[in-house]
Amino acid sequence: MKYVDEFRDPGAAEQLAAAIRKLASRRWVLMEVCGGQTHSLLRHGIEEVLHNTVELIHGPGCPVCVTPVEAIDFAQQLALHENVIVASFGDMLRVPGSRETLLGVRGRGGKVKTVYSPLDAVMLAQRHPDQQVVFFAVGFETTAPATALAVLQAERLELENFSLLVSHVRVQPAMEALMNSPDNRVQGFLAAGHVCTITGFDTYEEFVQQYRVPVVVTGFEPIDLLEGILECVRQLEAGRAEVSNCYARSVRQEGNQSAQDIVTQVYEIDDRPWRGFGTVPRGGYRLRAKYQKFDAEKRFEGVAPNSELPVIAVETCRAADVLAGRLRPTQCPEFGLHCTPDSPLGAPMVSSEGACAAYFHYHSTDADQEFASRHPSSIASGDAAK
């Protein structure tokens, strides 16, 4: 398949891995920002073959995972409200709020609809003029243009029954928060290629000047990731810290101007709470005053969270540390025991982009060893029988 096979060629991948191993004089600590990159690194065995060459810390780049509990609770509350349909991306349905998931709410009669595009939610509102349709707008700079477009479309159609529950987040402020944290170990970033497709990478120049770490714009296929890692290691070995684009087939320096314009027209930058991080200054978007009539939080101000249900607080879940890159998923005491993709405790185990789910599905080398050392009975029972 074009644009996939050539970026998964095992021979080319092995050559790049060998080049990285040859170049690295020490085990550099890199962070891949996006959860999609984490999955690809584990799925295609890259972390394993470079295990002794680079340490890959998995970044906070799963927008579903960092959506605050309060927003999820509010969405659930709306779904149970009379005449309200909550429309959401599929991933969001299984993420636990403080009490349950949107999927659970749907089972209790809540109206929750999976959509593939925010414009589908606008069409849903057109088809159901007697219902209020609330789109749960989560995601990075990648999805913000599409949700902004949905707002403009709803305005054009003069829809009174469409609104957004905005929980958009911005990547670069989170990277700044990580660099400012006292226990930071990251020496170089693989920046999220799809985000840069929209935003471009001019904005990273200042970041690189300030923090003196390489930022390499990187894609998602094995060859993309290996080229990104190679460039990062090359800079680190040479003592350089620059912005570099290893995803040129998708990313231009200035980004996608028309997408940026739509976002700027509809949204303004705002401080935003991230699950596991706390409030990240300038870490998200809110609707501009002109579009506040589409703000679900304002439209449904009177809807209070249902306080009758017990709050599920699992103190042993270390999702916050995992999201901040302070802990490997396998180091969490609940990993694989009480927390699995079937019954997740924290968001990173839920989302298909989450770091814990990635480890559970693809067990990296050290994950196997750590997991096996802590849970010897749960692995490979067949060995005992053979």
* Interface ranges with another protein (CB under 8 A): 1, 4, 8-10, 13-14, 17, 36, 42-46, 48-49, 63-64, 89-94, 114, 116, 138-140, 142-143, 194, 222, 341-342, 351-353, 360-363, 368, 379-383, 385-386
Q: Which is nearer to another protein, 84 or 367 (CB)?
A: 367
CB of 210 to another protein, least distance (A): 28
Helix, strand, or coil here: 381? helix
CB of 209 to another protein, least distance (A): 29
Q: Which is nearer to another protein, 222 or 329 (CB)?
A: 222
Please write down the long-range contacts of 310-316, taking CB distance under 8 Å and 24 or more positions apart: 310/99, 311/98, 311/99, 312/96, 312/98, 312/99, 312/100, 313/98, 314/338, 314/345, 314/346, 316/345
Fill in the DSSP letter of residue 295: B
Q: Which is nearer to another protein, 201 or 360 (CB)?
A: 360
CB of 183 to another protein, least distance (A): 29
Rg, Å, the chain Cα set: 21
Q: Which is nearer to another protein, 300 or 360 (CB)?
A: 360
CB of 320 to another protein, least distance (A): 21
CB of 182 to another protein, least distance (A): 31
175 burial (CB, 10 Å; 0-12 / 13-18 / 19+) is: buried
Burial 115-135 (b: 16+ CB within 10 A, else e): beebbebbbbbeeeeeebbbb
CB of 34 to another protein, least distance (A): 8
Cα–Cα distance for residue pair 98/172, rounded to 1 Å: 27
Q: Which is nearer to another protein, 92 or 236 (CB)?
A: 92
CB of 20 to another protein, least distance (A): 12
Q: Which is nearer to another protein, 290 or 338 (CB)?
A: 338
DSSP 143-205: THHHHHHHHHHHHHTT-SSEEEEEEEB-HHHHHHHHHHSTT----EEEEEHHHHHHH-STTHH
Strand ranges inside the chain, DSSP E: 28-34, 54-61, 84-88, 112-114, 132-139, 162-168, 188-192, 215-218, 243-245, 267-274, 278-287
Q: Which is nearer to another protein, 241 or 372 (CB)?
A: 372
Q: Which is nearer to another protein, 45 or 305 (CB)?
A: 45
C-alpha dihedral (252, 253, 255, 260), degrees to nearest 10:
-170
- Cβ atoms of 255 and 232 within 8 Å: the answer is no
CB of 5 to another protein, least distance (A): 9
Q: Which is nearer to another protein, 267 or 300 (CB)?
A: 267
326 burial (CB, 10 Å; 0-12 / 13-18 / 19+) is: middle
CB of 341 to another protein, least distance (A): 5
